[in-house]
């Protein structure tokens, strides 16, 4: 497999520059291995790293990017393991957020808070989970073990949401029928 090896230095101030570089590398799916950031080679990642190098130089730092192969199988295996651990950490976080989402839906159902505002709020949270999952999947070059479970949890959240939205709809229709029986206008 062809890899990109990246290293950089930045002045200690402003710290936001170091944080920004770290965030960009993590978004690209890079892992830190023996003082180097390692990424699988791709044209898209290469363009992003080149942009990052420009930013680093703009902050009075220096960077080096090397493309190549790992010649030692043991090191290659360790790099792959670092990628697996990094993605599983992210998938694990998604799984936890899915559990929180399910808990929220159960809470709103138990208190019969069947209002459209809850549907909108929960739909937005579900979309965030789905987008997050897509971002992590894009970085997952090693098919991390927790991927399948994260996908299943997000699908379970989708089913929970559909059931909740249906209950809210049915509840609102029931309220409209009650109003019509009382002779009130419905919207």
For residues 111 and 55, state if they share a domain. Answer: no
How far is 135 from 47, CA to CA, in rounded Å? 18
Say which CATH number the domain at 32 has: 3.30.70.240
Domain-embedded: residue 104: yes
For residues 47 and 124, state if they share a domain. Answer: no
Q: The whole model's pTM is what?
A: 0.85
State the chain's mean pLDDT as an integer. 93
Chosen domain end from 42, 69, 96: 69
- ∠129-130-133 over CA atoms, to 5°? 85
Q: Which domain holds residue 121?
A: 76-181
pLDDT tens by residue, 101-132: 999 999 999 999 999 999 999 999 999 999 99
Which residue matches tokens 């987008």? 131
Domain-embedded: residue 20: yes
For residues 104 and 167, state if they share a domain. Answer: yes
Domain-embedded: residue 136: yes
Average pLDDT over residues 159-178: 85
Domain-embedded: residue 16: yes
How far is 125 from 150, CA to CA, in rounded Å? 15
For residues 61 and 116, state if they share a domain. Answer: no
**179: pLDDT strictly greater than 60:** no
For residues 113 and 156, state if they share a domain. Answer: yes
Q: Specify the pLDDT at position 173.
A: 83
Q: Specify the pLDDT at position 185.
A: 59
Please tell me the total count of domains within the chain.
2
**182: pLDDT strictly greater than 80:** no
């Amino acid at each position: 497999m062809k890899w990109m090896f990246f290293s950089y230095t930045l002045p200690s101030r402003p710290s936001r520059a170091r944080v920004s570089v770290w965030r960009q590398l993590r978004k690209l799916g890079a892992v830190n291995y023996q003082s180097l950031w390692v990424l699988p080679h791709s044209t898209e990642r290469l363009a992003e790293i080149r942009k990052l190098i420009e930013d680093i130089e703009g902050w009075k730092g220096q960077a080096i990017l090397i493309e190549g192969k790992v010649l030692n199988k043991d090191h290659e295996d360790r790099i792959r393991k670092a990628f697996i651990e990094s993605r599983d950490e992210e998938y694990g976080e998604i799984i936890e957020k899915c559990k929180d989402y399910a808990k929220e839906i159960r809470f709103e159902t138990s208190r019969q808070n069947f209002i459209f505002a809850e549907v909108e709020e929960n739909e937005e949270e579900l979309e965030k989970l789905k987008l997050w999952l897509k971002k992590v999947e894009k970085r997952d070059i090693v098919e991390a073990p927790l991927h399948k479970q994260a996908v299943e949890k997000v699908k379970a959240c989708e089913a929970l949401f559909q059931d909740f939205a249906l209950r809210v709809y049915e509840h609102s229709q029931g309220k409209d029928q009650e109003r019509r029986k009382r002779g009130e206008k419905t919207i």
